[in-house]
C-alpha cells in the first residue's frame, strides 16, 4: 500500500433526486446525520476538528450564498474551521482531496468533507445544459455543456469507429445499475432504441446520452490512519490522490479524443498508490455524457486508446465484468449534483470495498472485490480542464 | 518556533485600485509574474507542483466562471492540480491555509496560492455594500454588509463607551499608512472631521468608516521548510494557521461586542506557533469597517476587552506603536478585493519581516521587527462567521 496517512471511517448520503421540499440547510443536516450513522462504532461529533464543504451552483446562480460556516453552524459544530471548495464538476472530489491533505498535514486528526447541490431549483436558462453560457465572453458564451463534449464524440467516432450504439450502451448499463441502487435518482431501465428515440440535444447526443439534473448531498468522515480502529473495524484507506488540469480553451487543447486532465490525475493517483489500472475492481467515473465514460475507460487505462467503444460493447465495464464501472448508476442514472457527486462516488466505493453494506441494499449490485482497490473520477469545470482521481483500498 | 513545515519563498501583488482595463486572466498573469519576480534566487516554474486560487465575487455575480484550471492554464502550468477556494472575506487567507496543508501533507514540495478579484466591474446593486442581499432568504435578504457590522458598533459604544471619534481614528491611521504604501488603492490622508462629514451609510458608519471596492490580485509561493534555501536567503516560515467559525444567524450569536470566529482562529494560531499576542510586531487585520479593527484589537488579544477604542486613541496600533496594525493601509485604504485580500496581507507581512523590501519603497513604513512575529487576519463570510488567522516568523 502506498500512502498510509488517511482512513475513511464513515460515509453517508441522501437518496439523489428532486428535493424541492428541502433547503440547503436541511440537506446538509441530513447528510451529516447520515454520515454519523455510517460510522460503525459511532463517533462523538466533538471529535470532528475541521470541515470542507463543496458546493457549486447555488452561489453561481445567486440563489444561495454559501461559505464554510454554513456547514459548521447547521450541524452544531460552530467553531471548527470549514473551507468552501468550488471547482466545477470535480467540486465534491476536490473537497475530499483537500480534507485528506488537512488530515495528512498533521493539523487535524478527524475531519468531515460534505457536498451539497440543488440543481433542480432554477429556471431552465440556468440548467446544466445551459450553464456553459454563463461567464467567460470568449470561452463560454453560447458553449453549453453538451456542445463542449460533443466534439470529443464526433472525433472519437471518426478516428476509432466508435458508434452511437456503443455510446448508448453506456446509458443502458448505467440505468440498469441505477435500478439496483436505492440511492439512484432514476430507477428505470432503458434500451438502445430508447436512447435513439429520445430528443436530440446536440448531435451525437440524444437526451438519454446526458446525465439528468439532480439534487443531492453526501458526506465522508476521515481520520488519521492510525486512529481508524477507534471508529470502525473496516476502515477504507486513501491510497492515491491525483488532480490534473488542462488548458481551458478548445484551441489550446492537444487532443479531442481524450481528456488530458483525467490522464494526469490518474497518473498521479496510480503512482501514489503504487498500483496500475489492472488492480482496480470497481470504479465510479464521470459519465456526464455517454462519450465521457468511453473516454474515461481509455484515459484511466482500463483499455487501450480507441478501444473504449468495444470495452462497453464486450460488457467489460458491467458488474461482473473486467472492472465494474458505475455500479451506483453513475452520473447518468444516480445523478450529478456537482458539489457532491465526487463524495457520493466515494460513498459508493467505500460500501463496495466494505462488502457488508451493499448486500443489505441489493446483493445483485455488490461487486466482487478481488484485488482490493477502487477508483473515483471526475472531470469538468470551465473548458473540461479539471480532473480528480482518488484511489481507495481496504 | 512551533510548526516548521512550510516556508514562504516569494510574494507579489498588483497595485490595488481600479483595473477596468484588465481581465481576470491578465490580473492572474500579472500576479504570477510578480510572485516569480519576488523569489529572491529565482525559481523554475516547473518546480511549482500544485496551486490554489481564491476568488469570490466573479462567479457569485455570474460575471465569470472560474475553476482551478484557470490559474494553471493562463500561466502555462496546465497540468498541475489547482483547487478553487471561495470562503467569503477570508477567501484569500483560506486559499493560503489550504496551500500550506497541501505542502505539509507531503504531497507537494512547492505550491502557489493566488487570489484575484474584480470588485469594480459590476452594477451598484451588486456592490459590496449590497452583496448581503444576495442569497439566503431569512439570513441575508436586505442585510447589507454595513448593516451586519453596525450592531457590533452600537453595542460596543453602549457597553464600553467607544466613540465615533475613536472609530474615525482607524480610518485616519490607515489612510495615512496608505499614503506611504505604493500598492494602496487610496493615497490620500483623511481627518476625523472628513469622516464625520462623509455621507452616512448606516449609522454609526459614514462612508469613510467603510472600506472601498477595489480590484486586485496577489500571489505567494510556498515550499517545504527544508527546501527554502534553494529559493531565498530570507525565508519566512508559517508558524501558525488558525480558522474559526461561528453561527451565521444573528439570533444564534453569543455576543455583539466580539467576533467569536476571530477569537477561535487566533487561539488556534497562537497555540500552534507557541506564542501570544505580545509577541506580534506587525499585523494586517480585517478593517472592512472602522469598528471591525477595534474589535480585532480585542479579539486578537492586543488589548483587553472593551479597550479597543482607547488602543487606537493612544496610538498603540500605529507604525512605531505597541503593535503596528495595517501598515499597508489595510482594507480601508489599500482595498479589499475579497479573494486576494488575505494574500495581499501576507505579502505585506513577508515584506515587513524581511526588512529589505519596504525600505526601497518608503522607509517610513518599515515596522521595527523586534520579536520576529507577524499576524494576518480576516473575518467575514455569510453572517460574519468565518475567520482565518495566520502567524508568520523569520
pLDDT digits (tens, 9 = 90+) for B110-125: 999 999 998 887 644 4
Q: Dump the DSSP string for B133-197.
A: GSS-TTTTTT--HHHHHHHHHHHHHHHH---HHHHHHHHHHHHHHHHH-TT-S------HHHHHH
Res A276: pLDDT = 98
The verdict on a CB contact (< 8 Å) between B247 and A84 is no
In a domain, A148, yes or no: no
Task: Tell me how far apart the alpha carbons of residues B297 and B295 are, in angstroms, rounded to a whole number.
Answer: 5
Number of structural domains (chain B) is 1
Catalytic residues of A: 89, 336
The residue in chain A having the minimum alpha-carbon distance to the alpha carbon of residue B261 is A79
The distance of A142 to chain B (nearest Cα, Å) reads 13
Residue in B with minimal Cα distance to A79: B245
Task: From residue A14, give the alpha-carbon distance in Å to each of A32, A97, A250, B204.
Answer: 10, 21, 36, 46
- B59: which chain A residues are within 8 Å (Cβ-Cβ)? 59-60, 86, 135
Q: Is pLDDT at B128 greater than 50 in this prediction?
A: no
Q: What are the CA-CA distances from residue B86 to residues B320, B338, B368 (Å)?
A: 35, 9, 34
Q: Do the Cβ atoms of A66 and B382 come within 8 Å?
A: yes
Set of chain B residues whose Cβ sits within 8 Å of the Cβ of A55: none
| Nearest chain B residue to A386, by CA | B69
Q: Indicate yes or no: CB of B62 within 8 angstroms of CB of A59.
A: no
Residues of chain A with pLDDT under 70: 1-2, 58-66, 122-143
DSSP β-bridge partners for residue A202: A205
Q: What is chain A's Cα-based Rg?
A: 19
CB-CB neighbors (< 8 A) of A242 in chain B: 81
Interface probe, candidates B58, B67, B90, B125, chain A, greatest A C-beta count within 10 A? B67
C-alpha A261: how far from chain center:
15
A contacts of B246 (beta carbons < 8 Å): 69, 73, 78-79
Size of interface A-B (CB pairs under 8 A): 213
Q: Which residues contact B321 (CB under 8 A, 6 or more apart)?
A: B314, B315
pLDDT (tens digit, 9 = 90+) per residue, A95-141? 999 999 999 999 999 999 999 998 887 644 444 444 444 444 444 55
Residue B190 placed within a domain:
no
Residue B208 CA to residue A133 CA, distance in Å, equals 39
Q: Is B62–A65 a contact, with Cβ atoms under 8 angstroms apart?
A: no
Mutate to test the interface with A, among B91, B103, B105 (most CBs of A within 10 A): B105
Closest to B74 measured CA to CA, from A143, A267, A139, A86 = A139
- Which residue out of B55, B83, B255 would a mutagenesis test of the A interface target, given it has the greatest number of A Cβ atoms within 10 Å? B83
Contact call for B136 and A65, based on CB within 8 A: yes
What burial class does residue B321 get, using C-beta atoms within 10 Å of its C-beta: 0-12 exposed, 13-18 middle, 19+ buried? middle
Contact criterion met (CB < 8 Å) for B101 and A107: yes
ipTM: 0.94
Gap between the Cα atoms of A59 and B135, Å rounded = 8
**A160 inside domain:** no
Is residue A146 domain-resident?
no
* C-alpha distances out from residue A156 to A102, A255, A387, B258, B367, Å: 39, 10, 20, 60, 62
Is the link from the previous residue into A204 a cis peptide, with omega within 30 of 0? yes
Classify residue A227 by its DSSP letter.
G
Inter-chain CB proximity A246 and B101 less than 8 Å: no
Instruction: Indicate whether B165 belongs to any domain.
Output: no
Sort out which chain A residues have CB atoms less than 8 A from B253's CB and list them.
none
Residue B364 included in any domain = yes
Interface test with B, best of A57, A86, A271 (most B CBs within 10 A): A86
B86–A86: do the CB atoms touch at under 8 Å? yes
For residues A313 and A242, give the distance between their C-alpha atoms in angstroms, rounded to a whole number: 29
List, in sequence order, every residue forming a beta bridge with A377; answer none if it has no partner: A389
* Distance between B148 CA and the closest CA of chain A, angstroms: 15
Q: Which residues pair with B84 in a beta bridge?
A: B53
Torsion angles phi and psi, residue B182, rounded to 5? -70, -10
Q: Does a structural domain hold residue A161?
A: no
Task: Tell me the pLDDT tens digit for each residue of B245-273.
Answer: 999 888 888 899 999 999 999 999 999 99
Distance from CA of B376 to the nearest CA of A (A): 16
Which letter does DSSP use for residue B17 in this model? B
Minimum distance, in Å, between the CA of residue A180 and any CA atom of chain B: 34
A116 belongs to a structural domain: yes
In chain B, count of helices (H) and strands (E)? 13, 12
Name every residue whose Cβ is closer than 8 Å to that of residue A336 and which is 6 or more positions away in sequence: A89, A119, A128, A211, A212, A213, A214, A288
Q: Is A246's CB within 8 Å of B79's CB? A: yes
Which residues of A are less than 8 Å from B135 in CB distance? 59, 62-66
pLDDT-based confidence at B26, cuts 50/70/90?
very high
What contacts B334, CB < 8 A, 6 or more positions away? B16, B178, B181, B183, B184, B185, B186, B214, B326, B328, B344
Q: How many CB atoms lie within 10 A of CB B390?
A: 28
Q: Using a CB-CB distance cutoff of 8 angstroms, which residues of chain B are in contact with residue A265? A: 81
With CA atoms as reference, the chain B residue closest to A272 would be B107
Measured distance CA(B161)–CA(B184) in Å, rounded: 32
| Structural contact between residues B343 and B92, judged by C-beta atoms closer than 8 angstroms | yes
Structural domain harbouring B281: 6-125+210-393
CB-closest option in B77, B98, B106 to A104: B106
For the annotated catalytic residues of B, the residue numbers are 89, 336
**Of the candidates B87, B101, B265, which has its C-beta nearest A105's C-beta?**
B101
The domain that holds A218 is classified in CATH as 3.40.47.10
CB contact under 8 A, B104 and A100: no
Smallest CA-to-CA distance from A277 within A307, A235, A246, A233 is with A307
From A18's Cα to the closest Cα of chain B, the distance in A is 20
Contact in structure between A15 and A94 (CB atoms under 8 Å): no
Grid coordinates belonging to B18: 481600479
CA B218 to CA B38: how far, in whole Å? Answer: 11
Amino acid at each position: 500500500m502506498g500512502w498510509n496517512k488517511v482512513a475513511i471511517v464513515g460515509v453517508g448520503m441522501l437518496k439523489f433526486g428532486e428535493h424541492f421540499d428541502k433547503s440547503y440547510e436541511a440537506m446538509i443536516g441530513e447528510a451529516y446525520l447520515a454520515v454519523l450513522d455510517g460510522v460503525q462504532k459511532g463517533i462523538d461529533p466533538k471529535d470532528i476538528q475541521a470541515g470542507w464543504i463543496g458546493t457549486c451552483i447555488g452561489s453561481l446562480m445567486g440563489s444561495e450564498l454559501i461559505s464554510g460556516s454554513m456547514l459548521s453552524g447547521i450541524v452544531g459544530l460552530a467553531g471548527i474551521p470549514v473551507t468552501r471548495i468550488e471547482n466545477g464538476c470535480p467540486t465534491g472530489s476536490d473537497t475530499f482531496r483537500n480534507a485528506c491533505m488537512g488530515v495528512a498535514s498533521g493539523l487535524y486528526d478527524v475531519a468531515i468533507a460534505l457536498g451539497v447541490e440543488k440543481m433542480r431549483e432554477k429556471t431552465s436558462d440556468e440548467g446544466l445544459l445551459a450553464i456553459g453560457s454563463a461567464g467567460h465572453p470568449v470561452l463560454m458564451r453560447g458553449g453549453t455543456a453538451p456542445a463542449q463534449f460533443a466534439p470529443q464524440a464526433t472525433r472519437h467516432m471518426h478516428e476509432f469507429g466508435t458508434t452511437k450504439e456503443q455510446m448508448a450502451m453506456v446509458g443502458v448499463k448505467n440505468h440498469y445499475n441505477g435500478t439496483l441502487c436505492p440511492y439512484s435518482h432514476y430507477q428505470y431501465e432503458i434500451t438502445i432504441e430508447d436512447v435513439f428515440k429520445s430528443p436530440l440535444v446536440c448531435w451525437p447526443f440524444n437526451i438519454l446520452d446526458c446525465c439528468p439534473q439532480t439534487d443531492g448531498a453526501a458526506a465522508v468522515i476521515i481520520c488519521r490512519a492510525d486512529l481508524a480502529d477507534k471508529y470502525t473495524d473496516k476502515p477504507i484507506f486513501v491510497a492515491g490522490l491525483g488532480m490534473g488540469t488542462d488548458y481551458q480553451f478548445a484551441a489550446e487543447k492537444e487532443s479531442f479524443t481524450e481528456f488530458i486532465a483525467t490522464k494526469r490525475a490518474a497518473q498521479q493517483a496510480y503512482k501514489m498508490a503504487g498500483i496500475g489500472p489492472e488492480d482496480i475492481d470497481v470504479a465510479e467515473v464521470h459519465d456526464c455524457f455517454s462519450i465521457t465514460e468511453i473516454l474515461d475507460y481509455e484515459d484511466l487505462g482500463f483499455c487501450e486508446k480507441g478501444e473504449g467503444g468495444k470495452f462497453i460493447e464486450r460488457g467489460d465495464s458491467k458488474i461482473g465484468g473486467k472492472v465494474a464501472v458505475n455500479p451506483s448508476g453513475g452520473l447518468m442514472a444516480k445523478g450529478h449534483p456537482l458539489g457532491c457527486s465526487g463524495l457520493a462516488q466515494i460513498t459508493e466505493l467505500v460500501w463496495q470495498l466494505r462488502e457488508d453494506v451493499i448486500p443489505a441494499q441489493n446483493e445483485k449490485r455488490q461487486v466482487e472485490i478481488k484485488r482490493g482497490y477502487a477508483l473515483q473520477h471526475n472531470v469538468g469545470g470551465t473548458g473540461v480542464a479539471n480532473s480528480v482521481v482518488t484511489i481507495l483500498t481496504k
